[in-house]
Amino acid sequence: MRVSDPITIRNKTIKNRLTMAPTVKFDYAGADGKATDLHIEHYRERAAHGCGLICVEATAVSPDGRFGPIHMGLWEDEQIPGHRAITDACHEHGAVVIIQLNHTGITTRPEMGPAIGPSAVPLRDPEALSKAMTIDEIKHMQELFADAAERAKKAGYDGVQLHGCHSYLINQFISKKTNLRTDEYGGSDENRARFGAEIIRMIRERCGEDFIISIRTPGIEPDVATAIAVAEEYVKAGCDYLQVSTGIEWNDPTVTEPDGPYNAVCSLGVRFHEHFKGRVPVSCVNSIFEPGQVRYLIENDLVDTVDLGRAILADPAFCEAVLGDKPYVKCFDCPRCQYGPGMPHKCAAAAVRAKQ
């Protein structure tokens, strides 16, 4: 298998095995949550340099589920036209494009709204607790995700990705640390996955059979076996594509830094691929800065696709470097990524590109 080989997911043919990971542009949107020209050109440039699948950044399904006051959203129809401009820009260059849908849950900032989640658990302030969602509130939240998916389809997206990791709401339901419920949404792996699985079924019913439904899910929560059991529930519900990252807890001694040219986080995607091989395509992500790393993962059939984050932010030409040994500016792997937030961006690699 080669990086340039196409892959078909839910009747959509992706021209190669390179995918852009969802990376939030915190300072691009306004308070109205609408996509801006900055968003459009950002994604257009990555598609133009050959990325096969673009996953647009985490996008709020509700104003109270934003990362901050200038976070892009899909909670109302007025936001659809801006997203249509993004999808048109990506499709113009032959990229398949999906969008990540999210709610911050118990990590919601106080100025955005209440910290709600599966259970009442301590927040950053140890004397404060999140609010445990009622069944009615759970159902309403699921509707918000499905409504946003419908808007995504109207905007021309080929599918959606549910943000099910990195400690946000769907992840909070599957983690035993944040989900202490004793009803049908807590306890067993199946029950803790129910919140996300029901959203997947709702989106499939509303958006049809040709719409890609992906989930970004932890590869370890708190161990790999539990994370795979949860992902099995998502696949049973109709998930087409597993994009594997990290979650809230990490407690599995079998996960160590591998000897090969990828790290322990990437190895989670490799293990998921071993489990789901032939059933559901799987991606990996994290600290992939060299074209040779991408080729190694694909050519050795370790994953189906490779998610690119900082490498493709640093230089969109990274895709061309992987596919055809073209020159590119390598990510400097800054301890704290300088791509954003804050304008102008201070990405060292982008500064080098600007001088060329």
pLDDT of residue 124: 79
Classify residue 355: in a domain, yes or no.
Answer: no
Cis peptide before 253 (omega within 30 of 0): no
Q: In 10 A of CB 62, how many CB atoms?
A: 22
pLDDT of residue 341: 65
Classify residue 333: in a domain, yes or no.
Answer: no
pLDDT of residue 347: 87
Work out the burial of residue 264: count CB atoms within 10 Å of its CB; fewer than 13 is exposed, 13-18 middle, 19 or more buried: middle
Classify residue 319: in a domain, yes or no.
Answer: yes
Q: How many domains does the chain have?
A: 1
Classify residue 341: in a domain, yes or no.
Answer: no
Convert 225-257 to b/e letters by CB count within 10 Å (16 or more is b).
Answer: ebbbbbbbbbbebebbbbbbbbbbbbebeebee
The tokens for 346 are: 């201070």
Sequence-distant (≥ 6) Cβ neighbours of residue 139 within 8 angstroms:
none
User: What does 159-223 look like in DSSP terms, one character per residue?
Assistant: EEEEE--TTSHHHHHH-TTT----STTSSSHHHHHHHHHHHHHHHHHHH-TTSEEEEEEES-SSS
Q: Supply the range of the domain harboring residue 17.
A: 7-325
Classify residue 331: in a domain, yes or no.
Answer: no
Nearest to 148 by CA among 169, 166, 132: 169
pLDDT of residue 344: 57
* This prediction's pTM: 0.97
pLDDT of residue 356: 81
CATH number, position 296: 3.20.20.70
pLDDT of residue 275: 98
Classify residue 342: in a domain, yes or no.
Answer: no
Nearest to 227 by CA among 245, 212, 239: 245
CA 72, CA 56: separation in Å to the nearest integer? 10
pLDDT digits (tens), the chain, 356 positions: 999 999 999 999 999 999 999 999 888 999 999 999 999 999 999 999 999 999 999 999 999 999 999 999 999 999 999 999 999 999 999 999 999 999 999 999 999 999 999 999 999 777 899 999 999 999 999 999 999 999 999 999 999 999 999 999 999 999 999 999 999 999 999 999 999 999 999 999 999 999 999 999 999 999 999 999 999 999 999 999 999 999 999 999 999 999 999 999 999 999 999 999 999 999 999 999 999 999 999 999 999 999 999 999 999 999 999 999 899 999 999 988 887 666 657 888 888 888 88
Classify residue 203: in a domain, yes or no.
Answer: yes
Classify residue 351: in a domain, yes or no.
Answer: no
CB 71 within 8 Å of CB 26: yes
pLDDT of residue 142: 98
